[in-house]
Chains A and B, each alone.
Chain A
Amino acid sequence: MLDLLFRALIGGLGVASVAGPLGAFVVWRRMAYFGDTLAHSALLGVALGFLFDINLNLAIIVLCVGLALVLVTLQKKHIIATDTLLGILAHSALSLGLVAVSFLDNIRIDLMAYLFGDLLAISQTDVYWIYGGGLAVISLLVIFWKPLLAVTVNEELAKVEGYPVEAIRLLLMLLVALVIAVAMKIVGVLLITSLMIIPAATARKLSNTPVQMASIASVLGCLSVCGGLWASYHWDTPTGPSVVVCAAFLFLLAYSLPFKRLG
């Protein structure tokens, strides 16, 4: 039992430390709904992964990136407002995923685990995926920190100064897709975005610079994972939702107490 908990903790902390900094970008660029859309489509990735018998993480990443590209293309054509477009894609992708899963007669899929996550069910391989993917995301964030931030602050200024704006935007989507793929096991497709957004939003209250906000978001995410696991162990509550509740509690705490920002 303790072994199981330990592995869950290691996996959860890995996901939370990556989701925090990336969540900061999602908050700054107002991509929350975009993240949701990608997350919802991840279930379709799972179904396709089973259908074609390919690695599930890989299937999710490919599907998320593909959807992100479709989204950007449609957005440029200005056919319909972006939030409507996201709404259409998010729920069609989720429904398509649920329908596709129902066709998988010979395989039993624990749907609840994919929708809401099951931290206690993660395997050693999952942990490797989390740390491999997480390391890739963090390295890319560190290497491209300045262009990512410059494009986030003001795209036109960045473009005039010679930053490759389109490429950076794509990179950010790729990173979000990667995090969704590795975080799905922990909190599930319906709750992934919360693990990115809530710690980042809480960190905003406590920080003065972008780096501070990204790092504090990491720490808060890790605290939420610890808290959620502890609650889950004690009261036998579902792990994924417990982690999110814990993150939300920290958010309320930060905004109701008179904390001072770091200098």
Chain B
Amino acid sequence: MSVKYTPVQWNKNKWGYDAVLIALVVLYITVFIEVGTPAADLARPLDNAILRMRAFGTCALWMLTFILCIGPLARLDKRFLPVLYNRRHFGVLTAVVAFTHAMYVFNWYFSFTAQTTLAAMLASTNGFGQILGFPIEILGLVSLILLGILAATSHDFWLTFLSAPVWKSLHLLIYPAYALVVAHVSLGYFQDSANPVFGVLFVGSALGVAVLHLLALLKERKVNDAATEWVEACKPGDIQDKRAAIVTLSKDERVAIFRTGSSFSAVSNACAHQGGPLGEGKIVYGCVTCPWHGFSYKARNGRSPAPFTEMIPTYNMKLEDGTLYIDRKANQPGTDVEPIIYEVENDG
């Protein structure tokens, strides 16, 4: 949250997350190379350098695939939220693994020239006018640059500096990056691989990512676009204690109504940090707590507790005939709003 920046904001949980992640990457690459080494030989199509570039390349592919599954999985099932917690470190490590793959490619296929390896690669690519035989190294290179942008702008500073909407828009580059990787593999290794296991895993995982995103999209379609000033939200009794109901005002604006005992307050559903869904979090120590990274706000004024300084917009509410209504017009971030008080009967 808003404290002096440090190079990496680690805590005990993130240390554990990163340790498991690095161990899995090392294990995958070690096993891949150990299993493949007996078949690798300079006189064959597969040698040790190609084996290593495949080890890092497939590792980056699976990591990127998993990263893209985390978002929709967390939207569909809250049990996946802990995986989302440290997704940025996951992404940076993926970029490092992909970069290592690229270095093996450059240093094996484009060495021994008077030019730099990158210049040699750019000078030797052709076949842009055809699908089969398209220079897949260009697809991989552009994807690597996009992953580099995402990794290089992953520090919390960038979120504050760019603002969450701009940062989020920039990080939508993950979609073209993955599409380029899928094209890179589809038109490359997939074309001449006789290994059915890889083919099934690759096609299955890429389709799985697409299906998960489709399911998450369908879940989010419920929209309240009525042009009235006050929007009917819900009955107070519909909200569990220390939890929230999420109300959609328009396609890009949602409100979370939090209940603490008999007190009801409405705040923006988007966390000031990364736009996490606050309404899917709960009240912890009297504060609305984001389920993604634990950023906290007081429900009545949308302000983080001192010494933190983040603020989110609040909304006015009214209670009519036992129903809560939300004023469509958001208040400035940090505006104090008197909570609605309502004693819920038969509260289970």
Chains A and B form a bound pair: no
B contact residues vs A (CB 8 Å cutoff): none
A contact residues vs B (CB 8 Å cutoff): none
